[in-house]
Amino acid sequence: MNIWVFMGRYDCELFATTHLTEKGAVLTALSDIVEYLGIDERSTRICPRSEEDKPLPWDDDELKALPTTELWEVYRGYCEHLWDDSQYEIEVKQTQVAG
């Protein structure tokens, strides 16, 4: 059986969650990123590196409404802002349940 794993490291502590769907894993990753970055309705939205692109969504309801392909684009946009952060690392991977 295929599953999706959201895994990461924050301040030398490892964590992971497992998901039956790809979308569930990416949504969890995005929720964790938004929390880590402290983004909320009072914050200035994070913009992608390209000035032509619109700000990245952060609201749970807005993210849940997006198809998985668009969620991956949002995830990649946030990861661009985290690539040099040595305190926080995350990844979403597909794997299989071992029997």
For helices 68-82 and 22-37, the axis angle rounded to 10 degrees is 30
pTM: predicted TM-score of the whole model, two decimal places = 0.87
Summarised one tens digit per residue, pLDDT across range 45-77 is 565 555 556 788 889 999 999 999 999 999 999
Summarised one tens digit per residue, pLDDT across range 1-33 is 999 999 999 999 999 999 999 999 999 999 999
8 A C-beta contact, residue 97 and residue 68: no
* CA 81 from centre of chain: 12
